[in-house]
Structure 1
């Protein structure tokens, strides 16, 4: 089985302040650097054969930490793995958005495939680019490989809810903290979530 390890980038100042980051190219804060190193150490003995990441700085820097322990592979940045674009809401907190535009915020939460943040992406657009990337990985990797993917909260939520659980409504229930990860195996037809405890 091919294994994919999704790793969320380390913390940023915006994460700490609970602001929507989206496509903003912000860097890790001090805690985020530590989280990236801790995540890299957890993966140090995993026989990775590929390392992909969003092309935004917070993911690239987290992937660099992983790369140190796997000198035989090189990170492959791509905009396909970016977070959902929140458009005019980027840099704002939920409370700030809810205070200025509560009706639009509620419609987006209730119908993210139909409604986008002002000037941002709909969930279906996120799904289209992530699905394209995932198909490329499945088609170009062998069934015995293990790849790591450094991305954002939104793409990891999408993968678990849409691909693994087959439950799009589960998107909002996923909680992956900065530096956290999700693991799944591909058997050629289905994804199965792997509990880290089971994985040793």
Structure 2
């Protein structure tokens, strides 16, 4: 039995898609807004117990659109702990100029950042240290308790966050720990679902979790349907 359905959303395409963005606060491009609307429409039939996002605008926009779609939606809550990885001196530096600013990028890629910190930045493990306890706390808050009726559907919670945040949570749900973040892709405007079992325990929060959906992009589905 499922005690909670956790939907993880990556924000839509940002306005500054040609530069490094971590903690930098930017909005969504016109396409990013369409992606946010597509996710909101996909989740419209799902009764939601709570909506969370990072406190960065590009994620908060998506949470607001989910809250505005469907009936009796809860108001979104923004959490600093759910921010993307801090990129330090690379924040808002163009991809073209990144290597000039940080020469070590010539030998490093995203998959090398589990424990490596770029100048002034977080590592993926640093991000996991703030994200994972936050998500576990949200599961503990909203999951169906052992004494509650199983006749009603399990509660559903949405988190609108970022590429690395979602990858780390999916990796933990798959039993890989934060190091497994490289095994998952997250397109802009993608939707994922993690099912938390009735046997959930705070001492082993990822035991028995199941991943029901990964990196599904409603915008792409809609575009394909329109092109037929």
* TM beyond 0.5: yes
Query: Contact between 1:105 and 1:117, CA under 8 Å: does it hold in 2?
Result: no
The CA distance in 2 between the partners of 1:195 and 1:36, in whole Å, is: 18
The CA distance in 2 between the partners of 1:59 and 1:109, in whole Å, is: 21
Report what 1:180 is aligned to.
Answer: 190
Deviation at 1:195, TM superposition (A): 3.2
Q: Name which of structure 1's ranges 72-81 and 156-165 shifts more when overlaid on structure 2.
A: 156-165
Q: Does 1:122 align with 2:123?
A: yes
- Count of residue correspondences: 195
The CA distance in 1 between the partners of 2:92 and 2:173, in whole Å, is: 29
Matches within 5 A, 1:18-57: 19-57=19-57
The structure with more radius of gyration: 2
Report what 1:78 is aligned to.
Answer: 79
Report what 1:139 is aligned to.
Answer: 140
Query: Contact between 1:108 and 1:116, CA under 8 Å: does it hold in 2?
Result: no
The alpha-carbon distance between structure 1 residues 120 and 54, as it changes in their structure 2 partners (threshold 3 A), is same
The CA distance in 1 between the partners of 2:61 and 2:85, in whole Å, is: 19
The alpha-carbon distance between structure 1 residues 46 and 105, as it changes in their structure 2 partners (threshold 3 A), is farther
Deviation at 1:117, TM superposition (A): 1.6
The CA distance in 1 between the partners of 2:53 and 2:47, in whole Å, is: 17
Report what 1:166 is aligned to.
Answer: 176
SS at match of 2:51: strand
The CA distance in 2 between the partners of 1:124 and 1:167, in whole Å, is: 10
The alpha-carbon distance between structure 1 residues 119 and 183, as it changes in their structure 2 partners (threshold 3 A), is same
Structure 2 gap segments, 5+ residues each: 145-153, 201-206, 217-228
Q: CA deviation digits over 1:66-103, x for unaligned, max 9?
A: 00124331101000110000011112345533344343
SS at match of 1:124: helix
Among candidates 152, 163, 167, match of residue 153 of structure 1: 163
Structure 1 gap segments, 5+ residues each: none
Deviation at 1:25, TM superposition (A): 0.5
Q: Does 1:7 align with 2:13?
A: no
The alpha-carbon distance between structure 1 residues 140 and 55, as it changes in their structure 2 partners (threshold 3 A), is same
Query: Contact between 1:7 and 1:148, CA under 8 Å: does it hold in 2?
Result: yes
Query: What value does the CA root-mean-square deviation take over the aligned residues?
Result: 2.2
Q: CA deviation digits over 1:126-161, x for unaligned, max 9?
A: 111111111211221123211011000110111112
Query: Contact between 1:37 and 1:65, CA under 8 Å: does it hold in 2?
Result: yes
The alpha-carbon distance between structure 1 residues 66 and 85, as it changes in their structure 2 partners (threshold 3 A), is same
Q: CA deviation digits over 1:3-61, x for unaligned, max 9?
A: 1000111111223x2x2210001011111111111110000001111100000011111
